[in-house]
Structures are given as C-alpha cells and as structure tokens.
Amino acid sequence: MTVDAQILSAFRRAGPDGVSGADLATRLGISRAAVWARIEDLRKLGYDISASPHQGYRLLASPDLLHADDLLARMSGDQIIGRDIRVFEETTSTNDVAEKLARDGVKEGVVVFAESQTKGRGRMGRRWVSPSKRGLWFSILLRPPLRPQACTQMTVAAATALVRAIERQTGLKPSIKWPNDILFNGRKAAGILTELAADSDSIRHLIVGIGLDVNVAQDEFPPDVRSVATSLRAELGRPIDRPALAAVLLEELDRDYARICRGGFPALADEWEQRCLTVGQRVTVDLGVRQIEGRAESLDDDGALLLRTEHGRLERILGGDVTIVKR
C-alpha cells in the first residue's frame, strides 16, 4: 500500500477516536512533517481532515472522487480483484485500457476505473453513456483457469456480485436479466461486457467491464434510452457514496471470482437464479441469425441459459438478446 493508502486506512480504522501525527509517523516510518505534507495533499483532493492537539487527525468526510489509494485503503488487502487499482479522469473505454495492460503482461486482478469514458461500449457494439463522476465505469483484468466456453460463468458471477453489493450499500433489491443486465422494474441500471482472449483450450485473459449508473440523473441519459434506463440515485431518491460502493463492489466481485476459480459455479448459479427475472419465464432470444422462443429453465455448468422450446428440445443459449414474452 502507498503512504496515502496507509494514512486513509488508519483514519478509517480509528474513526471518531482520531489518530495522532506521532503514531502515524512511527507506523509509516516517516517524519511527522512528511505525514503533515501528505495530509495537506489529501485535503487538496477534497478529504475533510480535522486536526486537534487532543484527538489528533480525524477523517470527517471523503470527496465524491475515485482515488486509487482511498479504494485500496477501504479493502481487506488479501483480495485478487483490486490489488492494483488505476483511476483515469477520462479514457476511451476502460476495457481498452485493461486490454492493453493484459497484452503488457500485467497480473490479474488489476482494476481500471475512469471518471468518464468517451467511447464506453456495451454488448453487441452498443454505446454506453458514461457521464463524468456519475457512475462506476470500470474493467477488471482476470486470468481464470477456465475454458473459453466458461466465460459466461464470469458474467453471471459479476451480475450476482453487483446485485449483492447494491443491496449491501443501499438496501435496494435489483434483479438480473440473463446474462448481464441489472434492472429495477424493467429499467436497466448496469451492464456487463465480458471480453476474452483465448485459444481453444483455455482463456489467456478475460476482461469484465462494468457500467453502473450510480448518480446519473434521468435527464443525463440520452433521449433514446431515457425510458428504459435508471440509476441507483433515481431508485433510492438520494445520491450514493460512489467510493464506498466501489470498494464493496470489488469485495463482492473478488468473492465470486474466487468461487468460480474453485469450481464453485453451481452454487453461484443457484444464487443467480433466485435473483433472476429470466428463469421460469417464456422468452424469445434474438441470436442475430435466428430467433428462438421457449421457456428459460435454468443455467448449465458453463453459465449457458437452458431454453425449452415448444418442441420440447433443450437449447443452450450462450449469447444474444433475451426478451421476456408478455402475456
């Protein structure tokens, strides 16, 4: 951890009790003047830090800002996802940055956040609008010991982790539409784009891109998606602490990633099915070349949706656009 991360971590652990400059200096092995200089820099970033002779330093408030050191300070430290965090003010697409890191041989677990994306993208080449500081737009580089066919497992894991993190931080109850949409009453609040490089036997790397509309106001969505998009803020009626949510999100994602790497996908699939709107419904799937209609029955071991057609045949659906048929 960097010095800044250690300072913020110490503040958070101490809470209202505060921590003295002398203690911090000893713990970090630097001078009290150096501690003071770091704290001045954190104040400039917007961290509200009080200092008193009796209580020492206390963190009163954090800015609405993604700061790698702060995110690291909020996490347990033994996770894979988030052991390396990089925050960009603006980028084309965080998936592009993660792809470049992958090719440079960077270890798995690195997370790339951007406060805004100029070319954010969703599934099937669709645009993903990412207004500055309104959401969590990020990508995770992973190198799972899985066959390429199992990449849907990671999409399912990410959807489940997203739902759990949102519940923990807000109390909201989102649902999942297969394979990767997070919805509130039919309106989409998050999407997941999984990209991979593989040979026919194994995944070389996999990038999970997540776009979560946290504090986006309804009029910030482009007109063409306004009626089908929502944000956590819109659902909750108040703004959400983005950095706190980001840290919880990375924790939950790390937990589910560990599960699928240990072969624990079946249990995760059960959890997913409980949150999922799609299973049990009559759906049509647009595969581009053809459409299939049937009843969504469950997930298989690769995360594929098993669809019972009207002829009684079981089809494995691994991609495509799913629409729930209204009766």
Binding site for a copy of itself (CB under 8 A): 123-124, 145, 147-149, 151-152, 155, 179-180, 193-202, 204, 263, 288-289, 318-320
Contact between residue 11 and residue 3 where contact means Cβ atoms under 8 Å apart: no
Nearer to a copy of itself, 72 or 146 (CB): 146
**Least distance from a copy of itself to the Cβ atom of residue 242, Å:** 26
Burial string for 242-277 (b: 16+ CB within 10 Å, else e) reads bbebbbbbbbbbbbbbebbbeeebeebbebbbebbb
Nearer to a copy of itself, 237 or 312 (CB): 312
List phi, psi (to 5°) of 136.
-115, 105
**Least distance from a copy of itself to the Cβ atom of residue 101, Å:** 14
**Least distance from a copy of itself to the Cβ atom of residue 252, Å:** 20
**Least distance from a copy of itself to the Cβ atom of residue 87, Å:** 24
Helix (H) or strand (E) holding 261: helix 242-261
Q: Which residue has the tokens 């798995």?
A: 108
Helix (H, G, I), strand (E, B) or coil at 279: coil
Nearer to a copy of itself, 125 or 223 (CB): 125
**Least distance from a copy of itself to the Cβ atom of residue 172, Å:** 26
Helix (H) or strand (E) holding 24: helix 21-28
**Least distance from a copy of itself to the Cβ atom of residue 149, Å:** 5
CA distance 265 to 268: 5
**Least distance from a copy of itself to the Cβ atom of residue 34, Å:** 44
Nearer to a copy of itself, 14 or 151 (CB): 151
Q: Which residue has the tokens 């593989």?
A: 198
**Cβ neighbours of 103 (radius 10 Å):** 11
**Cβ neighbours of 235 (radius 10 Å):** 18
Which pair of tokens denotes residue 15? Answer: 């809470």
**Distance of CA 113 to CAs 185, 248, 271, 299, 302, Å?**
28, 15, 27, 30, 28
Nearer to a copy of itself, 151 or 165 (CB): 151
Nearer to a copy of itself, 245 or 317 (CB): 317
* Straight-line distance from the first to the last Cα atom of the chain, in angstroms, rounded to the nearest whole number: 55
Nearer to a copy of itself, 214 or 285 (CB): 285
